[in-house]
């Protein structure tokens, strides 16, 4: 039931602190116990992992892209990510010691399932499903499973499934990293960040009203550009996907460093540009990309860490985010973009929970 909420999507956005809490519960007591969340076979299989291949579709694919940044940065494990509809139809090389990971809310997505069923190569050491539905085909057919505990997701646009997938993927990175010698002090540090996550998302949800106000600027627009750098690039992609699917405004995401290689030509006063600016090592580079946009007359909407000192000004609208620890930042910065899309869609009067032409579970290719 929707209860006090107008739409399931809105309810599901606000359920994220609880959904993440459930996904973490009883699983992050210590670095050594993390592995228990992946099933009995995990210790033997994870021991043999040298590289990771992630396959998924849509929003779940974006979760995989974030995981790649984490896996290579934190655990030092090479990782490839691909959309299932491409992966299954091309000849690909499987390096020895590959862990095959699928990510799916429903566990019934046809292309993702087909990719899983096609993993005969002896170079795969195991198949792990990160999934929200216990009884799904994907879960039944994978020897390793991590269940996200988001609860039923009814809105077609995925929200709490995505942030719980990211939570599970970060736990996977720590677990695999530990097998590869990542020290427990570093793992404890990131577990500490994960414990803060529900509370931080709660704080960001409180920005709902100012985001609703901001959304008015998008209602009449035909296009929007989303920018992010590093691990925030997939967050920008996910922001753009949310906006297009529920508001029908054309949206694209670029890694901010690519702007001058083409998309900058699109920027004028009719092209709002949304950016996420956490306080990380790429902040200064991002700020200069934002200047490039502003110089072409683009209106900027920046979700910025309150310590990042991104200044409000003519054509620069800043929404201050709480200080967020670096590793979990992509999870936290997803939320304001969900709220933005939601409010734009409501103002445009679209069918938020059931956007045209889309189905919740894509069981045909």
Residue positions annotated with a catalytic role: 360
Tokens of 297: 């007359």
Least separation in angstroms between residue 61's CB and ligand F6R is 7
User: Which of 109, 232, 327, 334 touches ligand F6R by CB under 6 A?
Assistant: 109
134 backbone φψ class: left, alpha, beta (φ>0; ψ -120 to 50): alpha
- Tell me the closest approach of the beta carbon of residue 183 to ligand F6R, in angstroms: 33
Gap between the Cα atoms of 13 and 151, Å rounded: 12
Of 90-98, 100-108, 207-215, 295-303, the segment contacting ligand F6R by CB under 6 A is 100-108
What is the pairing mode between strands 273-277 and 223-228? parallel
Cβ atoms of residues 159 and 12 within 8 Å:
yes
Nearer of residues 112 and 232 to ligand F6R, judged by Cβ: 112
- Select from 98, 106, 247, 275 the one that contacts ligand F6R (CB under 6 A): 106
The count of other CB atoms within 10 Å of the CB of residue 16 is 28
- Going from the C-alpha of 208 to that of each of 173, 220, 330, the distances in angstroms are 31, 20, 18
User: Does 60 engage in binding with ligand F6R (CB under 6 A)?
Assistant: yes
- Alpha helix (H) residue ranges in 71-136: 84-87, 110-117
Minimum gap (Å) between residue 144 Cβ and ligand F6R: 17
Other C-beta atoms closer than 10 Å to the C-beta of 78 total: 14
Between CA 8 and CA 153 the distance in angstroms is 8
Nearer to ligand F6R, 165 or 232 (CB): 165
Q: Does 137 bind ligand F6R (CB under 6 A)?
A: no
> In whole angstroms, what separates CA 250 from the centre of its chain?
20
Distance CA 284, CA 269 (A): 24
Q: Whose Cβ is closer to ligand F6R: residue 125's or residue 166's?
A: 166
Q: Assess 58 for contact with ligand F6R (CB under 6 A).
A: yes
Please tell me whether residue 263 binds ligand F6R under the rule CB under 6 A: no
Q: Does 104 bind ligand F6R (CB under 6 A)?
A: yes
- Residue 157 touching ligand F6R (CB under 6 A): yes
Should residue 59 be labelled a site residue for ligand F6R when binding is judged by CB under 6 A? yes
Quote the least distance from Cβ 143 to ligand F6R, whole Å: 19
Q: Contact between 98 and ligand F6R (CB under 6 A)? A: no
Q: Applying CB under 6 A, which of residues 57, 75, 214, 249 lies at the interface with ligand F6R?
A: 57
Task: Name the minimum Å distance from CB 158 to ligand F6R.
Answer: 4
Stretch that binds ligand F6R, among 40-48, 52-60, 179-187, 297-305 (CB under 6 A): 52-60
Closest residue to ligand F6R, judged by C-beta, is 58
Rounded-to-integer distance, Cα 60 and Cα 162, Å: 6
Q: How many residues are given for the chain?
A: 365
What is the smallest separation between the CB atom of 157 and ligand F6R, expressed in angstroms? 4
Q: Closer to ligand F6R at the Cβ: 109 or 232? A: 109
Q: Is 338 in the site for ligand F6R (CB under 6 A)?
A: no
Interface residue with ligand F6R, options 83, 114, 154, 362 (CB under 6 A): 362
Cα 38 from Cα 107, distance rounded (Å): 16
Ramachandran category for residue 116: left, alpha or beta (phi over 0 → left; psi -120 to 50 → alpha)? alpha
174 lies in the site for ligand F6R, by CB under 6 A: no
The residue count for binding ligand F6R (CB under 6 A) is 15
Cβ(3)–Cβ(346) under 8 Å?
no
Q: Phi and psi at residue 342, in whole multiples of 5°?
A: -55, -50
Candidates 164, 360, 339; CA nearest to 243 is 339
Q: Does 158 bind ligand F6R (CB under 6 A)?
A: yes
Q: Which ranges of 15-78 would DSSP assign to H, the alpha helix?
A: 16-24, 42-46, 58-70
Binding site for ligand F6R (CB under 6 A): 57-60, 104-106, 109, 112, 157-158, 241, 245, 361-362
């Amino acid at each position: 039931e929707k209860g006090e909420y107008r739409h399931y999507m809105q309810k599901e956005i606000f359920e994220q602190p609880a959904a993440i809490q459930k996904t973490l519960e009883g699983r992050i007591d210590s670095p050594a116990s993390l592995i228990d969340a992946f099933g009995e076979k995990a210790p033997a299989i994870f021991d043999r992992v040298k590289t990771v291949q992630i396959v998924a579709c849509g929003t779940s694919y974006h979760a995989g892209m974030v995981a790649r940044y984490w896996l290579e940065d934190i655990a030092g494990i090479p990782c490839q990510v691909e959309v299932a509809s491409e992966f299954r139809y091309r000849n690909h090389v499987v390096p020895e010691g590959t862990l095959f990971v699928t990510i799916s809310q429903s566990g019934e997505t046809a292309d993702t399932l087909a990719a899983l069923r096609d993993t005969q190569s002896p170079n795969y050491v195991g198949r792990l499903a990160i999934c929200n539905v216990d009884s799904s085909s994907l879960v039944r057919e994978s020897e390793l499973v991590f269940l996200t505990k988001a609860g039923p997701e009814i809105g077609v646009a995925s929200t709490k499934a995505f942030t719980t997938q990211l939570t599970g993927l970060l736990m996977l990175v720590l677990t695999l990293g530990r097998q590869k010698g990542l020290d427990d002090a570093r793992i404890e540090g990131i577990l500490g960040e994960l414990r803060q996550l529900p509370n931080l998302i709660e704080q960001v949800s409180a920005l709902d009203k100012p985001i609703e106000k901001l959304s008015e600027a998008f209602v009449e627009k035909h296009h929007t550009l989303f920018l992010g750098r590093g691990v925030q690039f997939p967050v920008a992609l996910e922001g753009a996907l949310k906006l297009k699917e529920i508001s029908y405004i054309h949206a694209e995401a670029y890694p901010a460093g690519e702007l001058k290689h083409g998309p900058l030509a699109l920027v004028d006063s009719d092209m709002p540009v949304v950016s996420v600016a956490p306080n990380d090592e790429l902040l200064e580079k991002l700020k200069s990309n934002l200047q490039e946009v502003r110089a072409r007359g683009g209106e900027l909407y920046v979700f910025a860490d309150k310590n990042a000192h991104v200044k409000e000004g003519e054509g620069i609208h800043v929404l201050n985010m709480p200080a967020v620890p670096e590793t979990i930042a992509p999870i936290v910065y997803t939320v304001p973009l969900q709220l933005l899309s939601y409010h734009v869609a409501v103002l445009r009067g679209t069918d938020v929970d059931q956007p045209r032409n889309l189905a919740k579970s894509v069981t045909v290719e």
